[in-house]
């Protein structure tokens, strides 16, 4: 059931740049650049871009405004050397947020098409808050 005292976000990731699922499976969390106003307790749904095009993880924001010295060493999970080198050049320029694992999804009911049928506008790219209609739909799929 959706709680009204927290924010619900969707954030896309690209499996061709970084092994997000492997990092989460191995560590139980993931650190990410923080460009939005996440708050501890917020829920973030991670959306795998094509070819999966669906929500794969439900995470909770457990730390905000982390410095590059406070984040986990994730260098071995990068797939794209170019993406990794770019991140290294700008690593210290950003603050980071930590998402801790809550649930993994393996259902096509959380595909882009289904999310759009249930109130989501556009395609997930950068992090954004979800409409209550979409959150209610996703929360109804927690046991799928």
Q: How far is CA 26 from CA 11, 59, 73, 76, 142, in A?
A: 20, 15, 12, 12, 22
Task: Provide the pLDDT confidence category of residue 1 given band limits of 50, 70 and 90.
Answer: low
pLDDT digits (tens, 9 = 90+) for 63-117: 999 999 999 999 999 998 898 999 899 889 999 999 999 999 999 999 999 999 9
Give tens-digit pLDDT for 6-51: 899 999 999 889 999 999 999 999 999 988 899 999 999 999 999 9
In this structure, which topology does domain 8-140 adopt according to CATH? Ribosomal Protein L25; Chain P (2.40.240)
The yes-or-no verdict on residue 59 having pLDDT over 80 is: yes
Residue whose tokens read 């080198």: 85
Residue 128 pairs with which residues in a beta bridge?
10
> Residue ranges per domain, the chain?
8-140
Half-sphere exposure of 73 (CA within 13 A, CB side): 1
User: Rounded to whole angstroms, how far apart are CA atoms 117 and 101?
Assistant: 26
| Non-local CB neighbours of 93 within 8 Å, separated by 6+ positions | none
Q: Is the pTM of this model over 0.85?
A: yes
- Please choose, from the candidates 36, 38, 42, the residue with its C-alpha nearest in 3D space to the C-alpha of residue 59: 42
């Amino acid at each position: 059931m959706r709680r009204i005292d927290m924010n619900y976000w969707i954030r896309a990731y690209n499996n061709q740049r970084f092994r997000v699922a492997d990092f989460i499976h191995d560590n139980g969390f993931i650190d990410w650049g923080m460009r939005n106003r996440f708050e501890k307790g917020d829920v973030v749904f991670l959306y795998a871009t094509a070819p999966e095009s669906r929500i794969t993880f439900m995470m909770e924001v457990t730390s905000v405004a982390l410095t590059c010295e406070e984040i986990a060493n994730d260098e071995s999970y990068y797939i794209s050397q170019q993406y990794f080198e770019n991140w290294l050049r700008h690593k210290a320029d950003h603050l980071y947020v930590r998402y801790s694992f809550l649930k993994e999804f393996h259902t096509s009911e959380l595909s882009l098409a289904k999310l759009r049928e249930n109130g989501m506008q556009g395609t997930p790219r950068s992090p954004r808050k979800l409409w209550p209609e979409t959150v209610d739909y996703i929360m109804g799929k927690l046991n799928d």
